[in-house]
Amino acid sequence: MSGERALRADAERNRRRLLDAAEALFRERGLDVGVAEIAERAGVGRGTLFRNFPTKQDLIAAIVIERMQEATEYTRTLLDAPDAGEALFGFLEELVGRQQLDRCLFDAVADTFLANEEIRAAHAQIVAGLEGLLTRAKESGAVRGDIGAMDVLVLLKGVFEAASAFASSEPGMVTRQLDLVRAAISAHAADRPLRGRPPTLADIERTFPRDEKSVAQTG
Amino acid sequence: MSGERALRADAERNRRRLLDAAEALFRERGLDVGVAEIAERAGVGRGTLFRNFPTKQDLIAAIVIERMQEATEYTRTLLDAPDAGEALFGFLEELVGRQQLDRCLFDAVADTFLANEEIRAAHAQIVAGLEGLLTRAKESGAVRGDIGAMDVLVLLKGVFEAASAFASSEPGMVTRQLDLVRAAISAHAADRPLRGRPPTLADIERTFPRDEKSVAQTG
Amino acid sequence: MSGERALRADAERNRRRLLDAAEALFRERGLDVGVAEIAERAGVGRGTLFRNFPTKQDLIAAIVIERMQEATEYTRTLLDAPDAGEALFGFLEELVGRQQLDRCLFDAVADTFLANEEIRAAHAQIVAGLEGLLTRAKESGAVRGDIGAMDVLVLLKGVFEAASAFASSEPGMVTRQLDLVRAAISAHAADRPLRGRPPTLADIERTFPRDEKSVAQTG
Amino acid sequence: MSGERALRADAERNRRRLLDAAEALFRERGLDVGVAEIAERAGVGRGTLFRNFPTKQDLIAAIVIERMQEATEYTRTLLDAPDAGEALFGFLEELVGRQQLDRCLFDAVADTFLANEEIRAAHAQIVAGLEGLLTRAKESGAVRGDIGAMDVLVLLKGVFEAASAFASSEPGMVTRQLDLVRAAISAHAADRPLRGRPPTLADIERTFPRDEKSVAQTG
DNA sequence: GATGAATGAGTATTCATTCAT
DNA sequence: GATGAATGAATACTCATTCAT
């Protein structure tokens, strides 16, 4: 038993190293970095990567899911915050501050979305969490009423995508972009209503239709 | 002589076909489409593609520059518009409407920026053009004063990045995102000033330092 | 046009070289030889192999089909032979003498059969050709009546499989095995009839069911 | 001591399980099944497999040798049979009936022959046993005199190789092939003598020359 | 002794680029 | 000038074997 735990510890350490190495390299140079380099950076053999993540896509998905789950958990800690508006804006800042959701990972979501039921689930949770923050912020009058969680997420995704390239050399730019997001969704911006209706999670999921395999594996 | 001109015309036609084929394919399936397919779609041999664009990157750069120049020209036609605010917002809508600047081309800019002096030049022009529209819009009171052209460009890039995935399945989302951009930069959003100072073109260019080769080729 | 023919000639030469190199290596060391070595032996680049045969299986199939077609053609030249029995036995000797059908290629047939409609067709033709020789040999009284083409083919396959290993070191063994085949199917061996009924082509094809893809491709 | 014996029993059980699992998998899907799956099917760890059989080839060789020894023992039980001809033919039928020697194992022999002195020994024994049956069958007038044990073995190998593919879907084919073998070696087929001389065990062994390692290990 | 995690050489295939025709 | 055949470096993945626990 202790033997099993010891072994597990080693394996877990390698898994962690692989996730960290991959995330760092993806962030630095995009999703095209080779698995060989990831394994090298993690200090493990190529086969170990494969043992932990049978496919490069699985590795990417694992990272994305981790980041999403962290974001979801963070929304939970904010549900009881006294100022609902600040909770929402703080959430967005935090995401940026931690650089938890960077460009290439968002790309990955698009690529992997349809093939991975786990990502759909993690995504649905993060949407639900944001929805909670948003509802309270609307009630408190901090945020315009005609906006949905998907609106914010897409806007956020855009900011990250656009700003991530400058994150290291021009950190101030990210802050300004966040301020712009805040201005966009603030209540006092509502004098000019948004066209259309807030997109729903279903709208997004419809864009990435499930494929047979994925459904078969999961359901 | 007429023979030479005829040849030139032929060559020009091939160049045009290649640019069109490449742009269409890039838009449809991303920058990973192979040169073979591009040449085939253009109806020319692979060698011809290479003769016109010594590198795939050169082909991408050529497309990006064309799109940028069109955008720059469009800014010129709007400088005399009666309503400076509407001119600016109309410019943004137009860019989206024409889908002239889609996600993968923005990606391309990031990848190619440092290696291509022509792109830097085209980029500087588009920034200058937007600056012009922006200045007039600020003077007319439509747009907040603490915002710069780069702020808008990054925001815009974000909208494109985020929305491009949904452009076909959820066209309404793009419209809403544009409305959010408008809300963000409108004058009445200025009661909460943006942190930091507007990033300049120099800030952006510093992010992608010139490399020796590029300088050597151009200068 | 002459240019096209010249190019074709080069390409054809490479295709020939690849087929020859592959066949030689397969014969020497089995189907597990790497494509890299095949390309090297053929004196072409790895990509050229791929251009001609998009898949290793395609290369194998091409060789198998060539050998089969040669065998089929040979049956045609023997249909007018004066002595039907000698025509049949001569056919078998010839196959062996030319070493046209060796162990690994028979293996290949089994592996590739279900995925390749062309092989099925070539196989059907060779069966038909042998059937012709066999019918005449039966009528002439040289061969027992209770035997079918598939019986002979399976027997032959066995001889090749078994003897191929010794083909170079013990060529006499192949000859003896052929004599044993002759003894087995000769008319005077018929005093003890074979159990069961002659297997038909359909029996064999039922063993390797067509798969959807293959059917779809061929129509 | 009893502890040591208990361990031995455990080890023996694992060895047995591995041999059985490997044989079953080899029979089902050929020699390319991975050691991982073999270990799993045997219910032991991968390291245990390796402890028992330092090499995959060693595992294969062990199976082949077992099968060969069983066949050798079977020849011994038949030496006293009243009808020498039926004893010989019964031996062949029995081999087929038990499916003891299937295609992939014969392949293995060829691959492993030169590297394994034990296989050479087991092979020599089976040849000797068959030689015994054959001699008696010749004396009894059931079998032609110009045939040797190697002739029969090669013929048999061929039948197995050829028929094994159809063993499940067309069991009758194997029976017919056996009948053909019987016809080939029966005395009444001897009116047309075989060319050449019966190959000897030495002929076969010369085909697979000992290599240095094997000699060093054994002698 | 047993385990299964780690290893890394090896595989088929892809694709931007070159070059003979 | 145009063509498309040839190239070979690069990639994700496999699997027999080793070794820490």
pLDDT, tens only, B38-47:
999 999 999 9
pLDDT, tens only, C152-164:
888 887 777 666 6
- Asked if strand E contacts C31 at the CB level, meaning under 7 A, the answer is no
| pLDDT in single tens digits along all 219 residues of chain A | 444 445 567 888 999 999 999 999 988 888 889 999 999 999 999 999 999 999 999 999 999 889 889 989 999 999 999 999 999 999 988 877 766 555 555 655 566 665 678 888 888 888 899 999 999 999 999 999 999 888 888 888 777 766 666 666 677 778 888 899 999 989 888 778 888 888 777 776 666 666 544 444 433
B83 or D105: whose pLDDT is higher? Answer: B83
Q: Stated in angstroms, how far is A44 CA from E8 C1'? A: 10
The pLDDT value recorded for residue A215 is 45
pLDDT, tens only, C110-142:
666 656 788 888 888 888 999 999 999 999 999
The pLDDT value recorded for residue C219 is 31
The pLDDT value recorded for residue C136 is 96
- Asked if C172's CB is within 8 angstroms of D206's CB, the reply is no
Q: Stated in angstroms, how far is C30 CA from E7 C1'? A: 28
The pLDDT value recorded for residue A103 is 57
The pLDDT value recorded for residue D136 is 96
Residue C91 scores a pLDDT above 70? yes
The type of residue at B141 is G
- Picking from D162, D175, D184, the nearest residue to C184 by CB comes out as D184
Helix/strand/coil percent split, chain D, to 5: 75, 0, 25
A35 touches chain B (CB under 8 A): no
Residue D186 scores a pLDDT above 70? yes
Cα–Cα–Cα angle for D11, D14, D18, nearest 5°? 140
What token pair was written down for A202? 């279903």
- Residues from chain A contacting residue B191 (CB–CB below 8 Å): 188
- Asked if strand F contacts C41 at the CB level, meaning under 7 A, the answer is no
Range in A190-194, B14-18, D14-18, D56-60 the model is least confident about: A190-194
Our answer on whether D and C touch (3+ beta-carbon pairs < 8 Å) is yes
Pairwise CA distance, residues C116 & C209, whole Å: 11
Contact criterion met (CB below 8 Å) for B215 and B114: no
Q: Indicate the DSSP class of residue A188.
A: G
The pLDDT value recorded for residue A217 is 42
Q: How many CB atoms lie within 10 A of CB A219?
A: 7
What token pair was written down for A179? 């301020």
- Asked if strand F contacts C18 at the CB level, meaning under 7 A, the answer is no
Pairwise CA distance, residues A33 & A35, whole Å: 7
Q: How many CB atoms lie within 10 A of CB B97?
A: 12
- Asked if A184's CB is within 8 angstroms of B173's CB, the reply is no
- Asked if strand F contacts B81 at the CB level, meaning under 7 A, the answer is no
Chains in contact with C, counting 3 or more C-beta pairs less than 8 Å apart as contact? D
Handedness of CA A33, A38, A39, A40 (dihedral sign): positive
Pairwise CA distance, residues B35 & B43, whole Å: 12
Q: What residue has its CA nearest to the C1' of E14?
A: C47
CA dihedral A183, A188, A189, A193 (to 10 degrees): 150
B197 or C58: whose pLDDT is higher? Answer: C58
Contact criterion met (CB below 8 Å) for C149 and C204: no
Q: Stated in angstroms, how far is B100 CA from F12 C1'? A: 35
Residue C45 scores a pLDDT above 80? yes
Q: Stated in angstroms, how far is C36 CA from E11 C1'? A: 10
Q: Please choose, from the candidates D98, A146, B215, D107, the residue with its C-alpha nearest in 3D space to the C-alpha of residue C162.
A: D107
Structure confidence at residue D110 as a pLDDT band (50, 70, 90): low
For chain B, how many residues are written?
A: 219
Of A21-30, C84-93, D111-120, D200-209, give the range with the top mean pLDDT.
C84-93
Nearest nucleotide, C1' to the C-alpha of C57? E12
* Average confidence score pLDDT of chain C: 81
pLDDT, tens only, B137-161:
999 999 999 998 888 888 887 777 6
Range in B42-46, B121-125, D49-53, D95-99 the model is least confident about: D95-99
The alpha carbon of residue C172 is apart from the nearest alpha carbon of chain D, in Å, by: 6
B31 touches chain A (CB under 8 A): no
Residues 123-152 of chain D whose Cβ lies under 8 A from any Cβ of chain C: 147, 150-151
Residues 6+ apart with CB under 8 A from D121: none
Q: Distance between alpha carbon D163 and the CA centroid of its chain, in Å?
A: 16
Q: Distance between alpha carbon B126 and the CA centroid of its chain, in Å?
A: 8
Residue B63 scores a pLDDT above 50? yes
Q: Stated in angstroms, how far is B191 CA from F13 C1'? A: 57
Alpha carbons within 13 angstroms on the beta-carbon side of residue C142 total 17
Hey, of D29, D93, D179, which one would you mutate to test binding to chain C, going by the most C CBs within 10 A of its CB? Answer: D179
Residue D121 scores a pLDDT above 70? yes
- Asked if A165's CB is within 8 angstroms of B207's CB, the reply is yes
Above pLDDT 70, what percent of chain D?
Answer: 76
* Average confidence score pLDDT of chain B: 82
- Asked if C170's CB is within 8 angstroms of D199's CB, the reply is yes
Q: Indicate the DSSP class of residue C211.
A: -
Nearest nucleotide, C1' to the C-alpha of C49? F6
Which nucleotides along chain F are within 7 A of a protein C-beta? 1-21
The pLDDT value recorded for residue C216 is 42
- Asked if A188's CB is within 8 angstroms of B199's CB, the reply is no
pLDDT, tens only, B107-126:
666 666 666 788 888 888 98
D62 or C210: whose pLDDT is higher? Answer: D62
Contact criterion met (CB below 8 Å) for A177 and B155: yes
- Asked if strand F contacts B133 at the CB level, meaning under 7 A, the answer is no
Q: In the predicted model, what is the mean pLDDT of residues B171-197? A: 85
Hey, of C105, C144, C152, C166, which one would you mutate to test binding to chain D, going by the most D CBs within 10 A of its CB? Answer: C166
B100 or D59: whose pLDDT is higher? Answer: D59
Residue D218 scores a pLDDT above 60? no
pTM above 0.75, yes or no: yes
- Picking from A158, A185, A189, the nearest residue to B162 by CB comes out as A158
- Provide DSSP, D68-135: HHHHHHHHHHHTT-S-HHHHHHHHHHHHHHHT-S-HHHHHHHHHHHTT-HHHHHHHHHHHHHHHHHHH
Q: Indicate the DSSP class of residue A197.
A: -
Structure confidence at residue D78 as a pLDDT band (50, 70, 90): very high
Hey, of C154, C168, C206, which one would you mutate to test binding to chain D, going by the most D CBs within 10 A of its CB? Answer: C154
Q: What residue has its CA nearest to the C1' of E3?
A: D45
The pLDDT value recorded for residue B94 is 85
Q: Give me the A residues in range 51-70 that sit within 7 A (CB) of strand F.
A: 51, 54-57
The pLDDT value recorded for residue B209 is 62
Pairwise CA distance, residues B114 & B215, whole Å: 10
Pairwise CA distance, residues A80 & A82, whole Å: 6
Pairwise CA distance, residues A89 & A133, whole Å: 9
The pLDDT value recorded for residue B218 is 38
